[in-house]
Amino acid sequence: MIFRLDKRLLFPDPGLAEPDGLLAVGGDLSVKRLLLAYQNGIFPWYSDDTPILWYSPHERFVLYPAELKISKSMRQVMRSGKFRITEDQYFEEVMAACSSVFREGQDGTWITDDMKGAYLRLQQKGHAHSIEVWEKDNLVGGLYGVQIGHVFCGESMFSLASNASKTALIYLCQSGLYNLIDCQMHTPHLESMGARLISREEYMGMVSGE
Protein backbone atom coordinates (compact mmCIF):
# COMPACT_ATOMS: atom_id res chain seq x y z
CA MET A 1 0.00 0.00 0.00
CA ILE A 2 1.31 3.43 -0.97
CA PHE A 3 0.44 6.17 1.51
CA ARG A 4 -0.41 9.76 0.60
CA LEU A 5 1.20 12.36 2.85
CA ASP A 6 -0.45 15.61 3.91
CA LYS A 7 0.76 18.64 5.86
CA ARG A 8 1.23 16.63 9.06
CA LEU A 9 4.85 15.88 9.86
CA LEU A 10 4.73 12.09 9.94
CA PHE A 11 5.46 8.99 7.88
CA PRO A 12 3.86 5.54 7.87
CA ASP A 13 5.73 2.51 9.19
CA PRO A 14 8.64 1.93 6.74
CA GLY A 15 8.00 -1.81 7.01
CA LEU A 16 4.82 -1.26 4.97
CA ALA A 17 6.76 -0.19 1.86
CA GLU A 18 6.10 -1.91 -1.46
CA PRO A 19 8.53 -4.62 -2.65
CA ASP A 20 10.44 -1.97 -4.63
CA GLY A 21 10.69 0.21 -1.51
CA LEU A 22 8.07 2.80 -2.46
CA LEU A 23 6.31 3.88 0.73
CA ALA A 24 4.55 7.21 0.28
CA VAL A 25 3.79 10.05 -2.08
CA GLY A 26 3.38 13.79 -1.51
CA GLY A 27 4.38 15.97 1.39
CA ASP A 28 7.21 18.46 1.05
CA LEU A 29 10.99 18.79 1.22
CA SER A 30 11.23 20.88 4.36
CA VAL A 31 14.27 20.43 6.58
CA LYS A 32 12.15 18.91 9.36
CA ARG A 33 10.45 16.40 7.06
CA LEU A 34 13.70 15.37 5.38
CA LEU A 35 15.40 14.81 8.73
CA LEU A 36 12.42 12.79 9.99
CA ALA A 37 12.57 10.71 6.82
CA TYR A 38 16.27 9.91 7.08
CA GLN A 39 15.94 9.15 10.79
CA ASN A 40 13.40 6.48 9.82
CA GLY A 41 15.28 5.01 6.88
CA ILE A 42 13.26 6.87 4.25
CA PHE A 43 14.50 9.06 1.41
CA PRO A 44 12.92 10.99 -1.51
CA TRP A 45 13.56 9.84 -5.06
CA TYR A 46 11.51 11.22 -7.93
CA SER A 47 11.70 13.30 -11.10
CA ASP A 48 10.22 16.56 -12.38
CA ASP A 49 7.24 14.80 -13.95
CA THR A 50 6.15 12.97 -10.77
CA PRO A 51 5.06 14.04 -7.29
CA ILE A 52 7.50 13.57 -4.42
CA LEU A 53 8.04 9.84 -3.92
CA TRP A 54 9.41 8.42 -0.67
CA TYR A 55 11.30 5.11 -0.53
CA SER A 56 12.37 2.77 2.23
CA PRO A 57 14.00 -0.34 0.70
CA HIS A 58 13.63 -3.61 2.57
CA GLU A 59 17.37 -4.13 2.10
CA ARG A 60 20.03 -1.43 2.07
CA PHE A 61 23.21 -1.35 0.03
CA VAL A 62 25.80 -0.03 2.47
CA LEU A 63 29.51 0.21 3.12
CA TYR A 64 31.01 -0.24 6.56
CA PRO A 65 34.19 1.89 6.60
CA ALA A 66 36.02 -0.90 8.44
CA GLU A 67 35.25 -3.21 5.48
CA LEU A 68 36.50 -0.80 2.81
CA LYS A 69 38.59 -2.50 0.14
CA ILE A 70 41.24 -0.35 -1.53
CA SER A 71 43.06 -1.82 -4.49
CA LYS A 72 46.83 -1.55 -4.82
CA SER A 73 46.47 0.81 -7.77
CA MET A 74 44.03 2.97 -5.82
CA ARG A 75 46.43 3.17 -2.88
CA GLN A 76 49.05 4.46 -5.30
CA VAL A 77 46.62 7.11 -6.52
CA MET A 78 45.90 8.21 -2.95
CA ARG A 79 49.62 8.49 -2.19
CA SER A 80 50.54 10.23 -5.43
CA GLY A 81 49.13 13.63 -4.50
CA LYS A 82 47.32 13.78 -7.83
CA PHE A 83 44.14 14.97 -6.15
CA ARG A 84 43.43 17.65 -3.57
CA ILE A 85 40.39 17.18 -1.31
CA THR A 86 38.16 19.75 0.38
CA GLU A 87 35.01 19.43 2.49
CA ASP A 88 31.79 21.47 2.44
CA GLN A 89 33.32 24.30 0.43
CA TYR A 90 31.49 23.75 -2.88
CA PHE A 91 28.30 21.91 -1.93
CA GLU A 92 26.16 23.55 -4.64
CA GLU A 93 28.77 22.86 -7.31
CA VAL A 94 28.95 19.18 -6.33
CA MET A 95 25.16 18.86 -6.53
CA ALA A 96 25.14 20.57 -9.91
CA ALA A 97 27.84 18.25 -11.24
CA CYS A 98 26.03 15.18 -9.90
CA SER A 99 22.82 16.28 -11.62
CA SER A 100 24.45 16.87 -14.99
CA VAL A 101 26.85 13.94 -15.32
CA PHE A 102 25.86 11.22 -17.81
CA ARG A 103 24.80 7.95 -16.21
CA GLU A 104 24.41 4.88 -18.37
CA GLY A 105 20.86 3.55 -18.41
CA GLN A 106 19.29 6.76 -17.07
CA ASP A 107 17.38 9.26 -19.19
CA GLY A 108 17.64 12.12 -16.73
CA THR A 109 18.31 13.05 -13.15
CA TRP A 110 16.39 12.77 -9.89
CA ILE A 111 18.30 15.80 -8.59
CA THR A 112 15.63 18.35 -9.48
CA ASP A 113 15.83 22.06 -8.77
CA ASP A 114 13.57 21.53 -5.75
CA MET A 115 15.90 18.79 -4.48
CA LYS A 116 18.92 21.06 -4.91
CA GLY A 117 17.24 23.78 -2.87
CA ALA A 118 16.15 21.34 -0.18
CA TYR A 119 19.58 19.76 0.30
CA LEU A 120 21.27 23.14 0.26
CA ARG A 121 19.03 24.12 3.17
CA LEU A 122 20.05 20.90 4.94
CA GLN A 123 23.71 21.78 4.33
CA GLN A 124 23.22 25.29 5.67
CA LYS A 125 21.77 23.75 8.85
CA GLY A 126 24.78 21.43 9.19
CA HIS A 127 22.95 18.21 8.26
CA ALA A 128 24.35 17.64 4.75
CA HIS A 129 27.96 17.54 3.61
CA SER A 130 30.06 17.35 0.49
CA ILE A 131 33.50 16.06 -0.38
CA GLU A 132 35.20 17.81 -3.30
CA VAL A 133 38.07 16.35 -5.32
CA TRP A 134 40.34 18.67 -7.28
CA GLU A 135 42.92 18.12 -9.98
CA LYS A 136 44.94 21.32 -9.99
CA ASP A 137 42.21 23.98 -10.02
CA ASN A 138 39.50 21.83 -11.57
CA LEU A 139 36.67 20.19 -9.62
CA VAL A 140 36.84 16.67 -11.05
CA GLY A 141 34.91 14.58 -8.55
CA GLY A 142 32.94 14.54 -5.36
CA LEU A 143 29.94 13.34 -3.43
CA TYR A 144 27.28 14.69 -1.11
CA GLY A 145 24.86 13.28 1.41
CA VAL A 146 23.01 13.62 4.70
CA GLN A 147 24.48 12.94 8.13
CA ILE A 148 22.29 11.16 10.67
CA GLY A 149 24.39 10.58 13.76
CA HIS A 150 27.30 8.39 12.69
CA VAL A 151 25.60 7.30 9.46
CA PHE A 152 26.29 9.09 6.17
CA CYS A 153 23.41 8.74 3.73
CA GLY A 154 25.09 9.17 0.37
CA GLU A 155 22.91 10.91 -2.20
CA SER A 156 25.09 11.06 -5.29
CA MET A 157 28.65 11.23 -6.56
CA PHE A 158 30.34 12.24 -9.79
CA SER A 159 33.67 11.78 -11.49
CA LEU A 160 35.18 13.72 -14.38
CA ALA A 161 38.61 12.13 -13.96
CA SER A 162 39.56 8.51 -13.44
CA ASN A 163 39.34 7.50 -9.75
CA ALA A 164 38.07 10.90 -8.56
CA SER A 165 34.81 9.64 -7.04
CA LYS A 166 36.62 6.67 -5.48
CA THR A 167 39.02 9.12 -3.89
CA ALA A 168 36.09 11.03 -2.38
CA LEU A 169 34.55 7.83 -0.99
CA ILE A 170 37.83 6.59 0.49
CA TYR A 171 38.39 9.98 2.12
CA LEU A 172 34.88 9.83 3.59
CA CYS A 173 35.41 6.31 4.95
CA GLN A 174 38.77 7.24 6.46
CA SER A 175 37.48 10.42 8.12
CA GLY A 176 36.58 8.49 11.27
CA LEU A 177 33.24 10.29 11.48
CA TYR A 178 30.96 7.50 10.30
CA ASN A 179 30.19 3.92 11.24
CA LEU A 180 28.17 3.32 8.08
CA ILE A 181 27.88 4.75 4.57
CA ASP A 182 24.44 4.26 3.02
CA CYS A 183 25.11 3.86 -0.71
CA GLN A 184 21.39 3.51 -1.62
CA MET A 185 21.97 2.29 -5.17
CA HIS A 186 23.95 -0.83 -6.05
CA THR A 187 26.85 -0.38 -8.45
CA PRO A 188 29.56 -2.90 -9.32
CA HIS A 189 32.37 -0.51 -8.37
CA LEU A 190 30.87 0.13 -4.92
CA GLU A 191 30.49 -3.61 -4.42
CA SER A 192 34.14 -4.07 -5.40
CA MET A 193 35.05 -1.62 -2.64
CA GLY A 194 33.24 -3.66 0.01
CA ALA A 195 29.64 -2.46 -0.10
CA ARG A 196 26.98 -5.07 0.58
CA LEU A 197 23.29 -5.56 1.31
CA ILE A 198 21.96 -5.56 4.85
CA SER A 199 18.42 -5.81 6.21
CA ARG A 200 16.36 -2.78 7.09
CA GLU A 201 16.47 -3.91 10.73
CA GLU A 202 20.28 -3.91 10.78
CA TYR A 203 20.32 -0.57 8.99
CA MET A 204 17.89 1.05 11.45
CA GLY A 205 19.97 -0.28 14.33
CA MET A 206 22.92 1.67 12.95
CA VAL A 207 20.84 4.81 12.38
CA SER A 208 19.45 4.73 15.92
CA GLY A 209 22.88 4.03 17.37
CA GLU A 210 21.88 0.70 18.90
pLDDT tens per residue, range 154-185 = 999 999 999 999 999 999 999 999 999 999 88
What is the DSSP secondary-structure string of 88-132?
SSSHHHHHHHHHHS--TT-SS-S--HHHHHHHHHHHHTTSEEEEE
Q: Which residue segments constitute the domains of the chain, with CATH numbers given?
A: 3-58 (3.30.70.3550), 61-207 (3.40.630.70)
Taking CA 52 as the corner, what is the angle to CA 103 and CA 119, rounded to the nearest 5 degrees?
A: 70
The answer to whether residue 106 scores a pLDDT higher than 70 is: no
For the ranges 100-104, 123-127, 194-198, the lowest mean pLDDT is seen at 100-104
* pLDDT score at 186: 86
The answer to whether residue 107 scores a pLDDT higher than 50 is: no
First to last CA, the chain: 29
* pLDDT score at 185: 80
d(C-alpha 133, C-alpha 158), whole Å: 10
Amino acid occupying residue 32: K
* pLDDT score at 108: 44
Record the pTM: 0.93
* pLDDT score at 103: 52
pLDDT tens per residue, range 108-130 = 467 899 999 999 999 999 999 99
d(C-alpha 18, C-alpha 20), whole Å: 5
Q: What is the average pLDDT score of the chain?
A: 94
CB neighbour list of residue 140: distance below 8 Å, 6 or more residues apart: 83, 133, 134, 159, 160, 161, 164
pLDDT tens per residue, range 13-53 = 999 999 999 999 999 999 999 999 999 999 999 988 899 99
